[in-house]
Amino acid sequence: MAIRKGDIIIPSLTGIFDKIALVPEELDKQLATTGCFIIRAKDDYPEFLFLLFRSPYSKDG
């Protein structure tokens, strides 16, 4: 799947949830591996979602 600027990439392997990435402009339209989840924000807030997923609150439970 092609990734876009602002996409959030999360590895699908268990135990490495802290390795989350926000796609920068220079990687726009590159191909991503099948070993990850790609979250595409519909609003203009991909940075907020990225920080939310990186926060300790999203890792509890």
- Token pair 């990850």 is found at 36
Please tell me the pTM assigned to this model.
0.80
CB-neighbour burial class of residue 23 (10 A; exposed 0-12, middle 13-18, buried 19+): buried
pLDDT tens string 18-60: 788 999 999 999 999 888 999 998 877 889 989 888 888 776 6
Q: What's the domain count of the chain?
A: 1
Secondary-structure breakdown of the chain: helix, strand, coil percentages, each rounded to the nearest 5: 25, 20, 55
Q: Tell me if 21 is assigned to some domain.
A: yes
Q: Tell me if 14 is assigned to some domain.
A: yes
Q: Tell me if 1 is assigned to some domain.
A: no
User: If you average pLDDT over residues 7-14, what whole number do you get?
Assistant: 87
12: domain range? Answer: 8-59
pLDDT the model gives residue 56: 81
pLDDT the model gives residue 34: 87
